[in-house]
Amino acid sequence: MKLSQRGEYALRALLVMGMNHGPGVIRIKDIAQQQNIPRRFLEQILNDLKSAGFVQSKRGVAGGYRLQRGPGEISLADIIRHLEGPLAPVGCVSVNYYQRCSCPDEGKCAIRSVMQEVRDAIVGVLEGVSVAHLCDRVRDLQGPLENPLDYVI
Amino acid sequence: MKLSQRGEYALRALLVMGMNHGPGVIRIKDIAQQQNIPRRFLEQILNDLKSAGFVQSKRGVAGGYRLQRGPGEISLADIIRHLEGPLAPVGCVSVNYYQRCSCPDEGKCAIRSVMQEVRDAIVGVLEGVSVAHLCDRVRDLQGPLENPLDYVI
DNA sequence: ACAATACTTGACTCAATCAGTCGGGATTCT
DNA sequence: AGAATCCCGACTGATTGAGTCAAGTATTGT
């Protein structure tokens, strides 16, 4: 699994939305400025996240984006799978994007058995972390702040 | 970490050399045929592995390749790092290929802290497996065979 | 009503990487 | 000498990554 720029931007944007989760929406422009993401590119990314059901949008003057589900219900594994495809290092051990490889017998492939373990290790971490967990980490890492809005992602 | 075709071929070739480790060499042609790898492409790959010190070669009529170090001394982590670059999903948590990312404070980056864990999980598996271990797995997975040369990778 | 604000959609560019291919040169064994 | 084998660099064609851009549609404050 390799996280592309696109993927990293998506996570950062989702994290901003997680930190400000509530009934209101956040403008794309604000996310872009706060996180130093090219605005046009971010539009594209958020659109993608929207059609995947991770976020919802509101148009017009007071428009913007917000998380569709609660931050506790979105795991990083889900997000990254949607954005980057398989978490597994090779297709033949991927559960969600399985692809047969050229070796004669997968059941007896030693390389595959190692890659299986790698996959499990990656998935183990990523399934266990939700956007809400990420928010918790942000708060833990920041320590006590005077202004609770004054955080860094 | 994503394993490219090139990387997979390299592992398969190294595994063949591991299974036949001894004073003699193996012809590139034989590896290519046995593993169904395009010969010219494999030449390129083995050349790379040679200049990295994983294998050594012998030219001329009875020429070929063999492992330079013992199969127990080459970890998959080393091989893949050489072939594919960083094992980490993002540059800012890579030990061997560190690259600063654009977030304002790495020490307080929640995403980074998760990626750190992913990296550790991947490296944990891959550092622990050598070519010799791979060979053991081949033998385990095959079960008892009539002809000990009749194995699959 | 209407202008301003913000999201929407699809096409487009530019560079890098991947997966090979190819031609010919250098060595070594017989 | 001649065949087998490795050695080396250049080349190609397809795909992906990171953005950019233009023109459009919906919503709302006044």
pLDDT band at A134; cut points 50, 70, 90: very high
Local confidence band at A146 (pLDDT 50, 70, 90 cut-offs): low
Does domain B1-71 fall under CATH 3.40.50.720? My reply is no
For A82, B94, B120, the CA distances from B85, given in Å and listed in that order, are 24, 10, 16
Q: Which two tokens stand for residue A143?
A: 């320590």
What share of chain B in percent tops pLDDT 90?
84
pLDDT tens digits for A53-110?
999 999 999 999 999 999 999 999 999 999 999 999 999 999 999 999 888 789 999 9
Residue spans per domain, chain B: 1-71
B chain contacts of residue A137, beta-carbon cutoff 8 Å: 110, 113-114
Calculate the alpha carbon distances from B115 to A73, B68, B89, B120 in Å: 19, 34, 7, 8
Residues 6+ apart with CB under 8 A from A1: A80, A84, A86, A87, A88, A89, A122, B1, B2, B89, B118
Q: Is a pLDDT exceeding 70 seen at residue B120?
A: yes
Section B122-142 average pLDDT = 96
Measuring from the CA of residue A102 to each C1', which nucleotide is nearest?
Answer: C19
Predicted confidence band of residue A32 (pLDDT cuts 50, 70, 90): very high
Pick the CATH number of A1-69 from 1.10.10.10, 2.40.37.10, 1.10.3720.10, 2.60.120.40: 1.10.10.10
The residue of chain A nearest to residue B12, with distances taken between CA atoms, is A111
pLDDT at res. A149: 65
Task: State yes or no: pLDDT of B29 exceeds 80.
Answer: yes
CA neighbor of B56 nearest in space, from B70, B36, B72:
B70
pLDDT for B38 equals 97
Does the distance separating the beta carbons of B122 and A153 come in below 8 Å?
Answer: no
If you average pLDDT over every residue of chain A, what do you get? Answer: 94
Question: What is the Cα–Cα distance from A79 to A84, expressed in whole angstroms?
Answer: 8
Instruction: Kindly state the helix (H) or strand (E) to which residue A58 belongs, with its residue range.
Output: strand A55-58
| pLDDT higher than 90, residue B47 | yes
Nucleotides of chain C in contact with protein CB (under 7 A) are 4-11, 18-23, 26-30
The yes-or-no verdict on residue A28 having pLDDT over 70 is yes
